[in-house]
Structure 1
Amino acid sequence: MKREQFLAQPEVESFIAWLAVNLPALPFKLRFKASKFVPGGLTADVQGFEQILEQYRWKASWQDTHQNSVASQTWAETQRSLGQLREWLTSAVNRGDEQQALQACLQILRWGGVRGAIPFLHRLAAKGELSSYLKKMGGLMSLDGDNDLNDLDAISVERFDAGLTKIHALFDPSGSPIYDSRVGAAIGMLYSLFRQQWMESAKPLLAFPSGAARGSQIRNPGAFLNGLAAPHFSAIDYAEWACWQVRLGWIIRALLERTGWFAEQGALPTRCHAFEASLFMLGYDLRCFGVTLVSDPKAAAPENEAQKRENGGTGWVPTGHPFSQVLKDYLAFRHSDKLDDKASFVAWLLANPRNENPLTRATAQGYCFAFSIDEFDLFGRPLEELKRIVAGGQDGLCAAMASQTLEPFTVGDERVSVCLVDVLITGNAYRRATTDKERTDYILSAGYAGTENSARALMALGRNVGKHFGLLDEQHLPTILFEQFFLGCSLDA
């Protein structure tokens, strides 16, 4: 489907018209907890969508080509910062300078507080394919071209996550939005409100996906009375996520073309990013809309089985996972010359049981939890790199993080890097308490898990991953490497 076909659909046209009428009048109550991204927190009551931009907060920094730190927090500062990153990335890609393109991408991820895409970017750059891949994706995701959504498929979109959406958005000159969990949550909530007022009983046409926050914030419209549940990022494929970025971009451009919103920002692409930044602020916690929650938010948005395995349940509870053993299994699988993807590895696990009790398909799929781009992005790793990861220790951790030297871990805004966060939680639990009950009580009281069994599952993975990489010792206590790696990390907000 092309842009004009998409926008011509009656429901899409009606949604854009609804946004044009309603956004200027909607009230919002922004309530942000204090965090490293929003020091001191934020409390603001805002009337009208355009006024949100004044409240934009995202404290971040990155390093330019001269190793100078570029810091930003307000929208004006962020706009200048991203302008520099955009120019760095675009010029490097246009020159075909793979190393500079890679460095620009890595600094974009640093600004965004995400790192899942780092191994993928390194692999592309090592093969001399990063610039060509970004150019190809740029053509497929342009908002003002003749591109067709059908061309965004499993072949063309090799990876997609909260980091790559930032890279593709900055590379695009037409105003493509950064589509992360916050932006997806906000536009999904607006669409949910629209559907409650639109006099049409047909199945909703749009299903804006979103992801989970790392805290107690709500980012699923399905948690509210009569709300539409949003598909989770883990339940859709990479290409579909990319398609939603394009669809949202088409909607934003069409809306701004008929209004004068954000005119002071300049040209249309810049206005598009201001609109996206406002969605980003609303998506921190959908309770800012003032809509009634259902009595049990989980009941409003049932997860399918695959999503349950991916999300792992409450807080930082993972899917059950014998980490070290599965890494060894994967290395053996790679030596078997099979196609290197999740489906092939699952089939190999089922055909090669380690004991008399063969795995179920659900368990084998759950074992791939740590392989996702939100964890260690293991599929497709070079064999020598994989061997280092399997060997573990500090060198294995560096290989897993696709870093020559070990950089301090960052806890971002979204529920990603669960394996490593669980090591952090487990190490802190063993440092604080001497009995299993005390450690479990600590995890429950902190809200990292909802039940005793969940807390034990969290610590089981934390111990396994922590010992594998030398972050925890034989007594599961933090090592010197733990202190270096998790320096300054906090899960309080």
Structure 2
Amino acid sequence: MKRDDFLKQDDVRGFIDWLTAELPARSFHLKMARSRFVPGGLDVQATGLEAVLGHYVWSTRWTDAQGKAVVSRNWHETRASLGQLRGWLKDAIARRDEDQTLAACLAILEWGGVRGAIVFLKRLHAQGRLVAYFTRLAPLMALDSDASLDALDTDTVERFDAGLTKIHALFDDSGSPIYDSRVGAAMAMLYAQYRSQAGSKLAKKHWLAFPSGAARGKQIRNPKGIDGGFAGAPQFFRKAVSCQDWAQWQVKLGWILRAVLEQCDWFKADSADMAARCHAFEACLFMLGYDLRCFGEVTAEATMAKERVAKDDVPQSGWVPTGCSFKNVLPVYAQFRRRHEKDDLATFAKWYARTQGAAEKTANAYCFPYSESEFDLFDSSEERLDTIVKGGKEGLYAAVESTEPYAEGAERERICLVDALLAGRTADMLPPVRTAWLLQKGYAGTKSAANTLMTVGRQVGRHFGLLDKKNRPTAFFHEYFGDCMREP
């Protein structure tokens, strides 16, 4: 489907008109917990979408090519910071400089507080095709091109996540938005309200189903958790949302944002450039999507949802992993790699089920630590895999493709590693106290989930030398995690 065909759909056209009419007068209660990205927290009322931009906060830093720290917090500083990153990335790609392209990409991830794409980026760099990858995708992601969404398929989009959406957006000149869980949550909520208000006037066919992702802690990023009986949003890293789907949604969202801005003068006081206005719009959605309670109250069903898991057994919130035997399965996976050329989750799961006498569903669950949002082991080099299997400090560095100390991120990723952190932080607690603490903090929704969290966290922690044989923090634990998740 091309842009004009997408925009002429009645449901899409109606939603664009509704946003244009509704957002200037809508009131929002922006309430954010204190974190390294929001020092001091936030608790303000804002009327109208443009007013939200004045409360934008994302306190972060990244290191430029000269080794200088670039710090930003409000929207004015962030816009300047992103301009520098965009310039670095575009210049490196224009010169076909693989090393500088990788450095710029890693700096973008540092700014965004996400790390999951590092393994993928370094893999492309090692293969000498990092520049070619982003160059090939650029015209397909551009909002003003004549490309079809269908071109963003398995042949072109190899991976998509909260880090790569930032890189693709910054490489683009047409205003392609950063589509992370917060932006997706805000759009899913707005669309749900639009459908609710329009009622029977709307056709039954839905052209929009904005995907989102689970939040860290107790934030709500799914319309289903808000009073109003809204349908749930499709979730990232589930079967319903492939990486190709995610890339297509970035383009579809960009088309919608541009269509809205063509009907109004929002953000023109800041810049007349359409791409700049699109990014200002996206920044407001980013603030609204932190916690959908800024749109309304949470239902009892939402509270209960903390204890549920998706159909594929992946928990929807907190830091509970899919139950897996990290210690026992990792060396078996290494054996599989030495015997098979095709290396993907489906092939390994079938082989594991056949050779180890396990159900295929169980084998799939055991692959959780190897997924893209965890340690991204499939298709790794033999050297990297061997180092990870050996464990210890070097094994961990190879698993995360970085020797930098751990930093709490903005997205729900690397769950197994966070579980090791929580296992160390709770090492001195008695079991009932530990379980109660995990539930109270929102890290787990049930006692069973808390037990799964601890089991996986301890196995991962011991393997990488973060915990000793008695599951107590080692010197490396304190060196690597620092004060992350430490109780005040």
Q: TM-score range by the shorter chain?
A: over 0.9
Q: Which residue does the alignment assign to 2:253?
A: 248
Written as runs of structure 1 = structure 2, the 5 A alignment for 1:5-404 is: 5-198=5-198, 199-224=201-226, 225-235=228-238, 236-266=241-271, 267-289=273-295, 291-297=296-302, 304-306=310-312, 309-311=313-315, 314-353=317-356, 358-403=357-402
Task: Judge conservation of contact 2:214–2:317 (CA < 8 Å) in 1.
Answer: no
* Alpha-carbon spacing, 1:445–1:61, altered in 2? closer, same or farther (3 Å): same
SS of 1:407 mapped into structure 2: coil
Letter in 2 for 1:107: A
Identity of aligned residues (%): 50
Structure 1 stretch 441-450 or stretch 164-173: which is displaced more? Answer: 441-450
| TM-score, L = length of structure 1 | 0.95
Offset at residue 45 of structure 1 (A): 0.4
Task: Judge conservation of contact 2:217–2:441 (CA < 8 Å) in 1.
Answer: no
Offset at residue 201 of structure 1 (A): 4.8
CA distance in 1, matches of 2:136, 2:367: 29
Q: Which residue does the alignment assign to 1:424?
A: 421
CA distance in 2, matches of 1:478, 1:414: 25
SS of 1:375 mapped into structure 2: coil
Once the two structures are superposed, residues 217-273 of structure 1 have per-residue CA deviations (whole angstroms, 9 ceiling, x without a partner) of 100011122212100102211100001000000000111111111002320000000
Task: Judge conservation of contact 2:11–2:203 (CA < 8 Å) in 1.
Answer: no
Task: Judge conservation of contact 1:234–1:310 (CA < 8 Å) in 2.
Answer: no
CA distance in 1, matches of 2:458, 2:341: 31
Q: Which residue does the alignment assign to 1:454?
A: 449
Q: Which residue does the alignment assign to 1:414?
A: 411
Task: Judge conservation of contact 1:229–1:300 (CA < 8 Å) in 2.
Answer: no
SS of 1:56 mapped into structure 2: coil
Task: Judge conservation of contact 1:38–1:57 (CA < 8 Å) in 2.
Answer: yes
Aligned Cα RMSD in Å?
Answer: 1.6
Offset at residue 38 of structure 1 (A): 0.6
SS of 1:234 mapped into structure 2: coil
Structure 1 stretch 293-302 or stretch 123-132: which is displaced more? Answer: 293-302
CA distance in 2, matches of 1:55, 1:13: 29
Is the aligned partner of 1:467 residue 2:462?
yes
CA distance in 2, matches of 1:340, 1:24: 51
Deviant stretches of 4+, over 4 Å:
298-304
* Alpha-carbon spacing, 1:99–1:139, altered in 2? closer, same or farther (3 Å): same
Task: Judge conservation of contact 1:188–1:221 (CA < 8 Å) in 2.
Answer: yes
Task: Judge conservation of contact 1:411–1:491 (CA < 8 Å) in 2.
Answer: no
CA distance in 1, matches of 2:160, 2:416: 20
CA distance in 1, matches of 2:17, 2:380: 47
CA distance in 2, matches of 1:299, 1:195: 25
CA distance in 2, matches of 1:456, 1:315: 13
CA distance in 2, matches of 1:150, 1:491: 46
Once the two structures are superposed, residues 146-190 of structure 1 have per-residue CA deviations (whole angstroms, 9 ceiling, x without a partner) of 111101112211111100000111011111100000000001100
SS of 1:263 mapped into structure 2: coil
CA distance in 2, matches of 1:492, 1:41: 17
CA distance in 2, matches of 1:265, 1:96: 33
Q: Which residue does the alignment assign to 1:2?
A: 2
CA distance in 1, matches of 2:363, 2:224: 30
Letter in 1 for 2:417: L
| Structure 1 alignment gaps of length 5 or more | none
Structure 1 stretch 272-281 or stretch 155-164: which is displaced more? Answer: 155-164
Letter in 2 for 1:256: L
* Alpha-carbon spacing, 1:215–1:438, altered in 2? closer, same or farther (3 Å): closer
Once the two structures are superposed, residues 101-157 of structure 1 have per-residue CA deviations (whole angstroms, 9 ceiling, x without a partner) of 000000000000000000110010111100010111111111000111101112211
Offset at residue 437 of structure 1 (A): 2.9
Letter in 2 for 1:287: R
Letter in 1 for 2:37: F
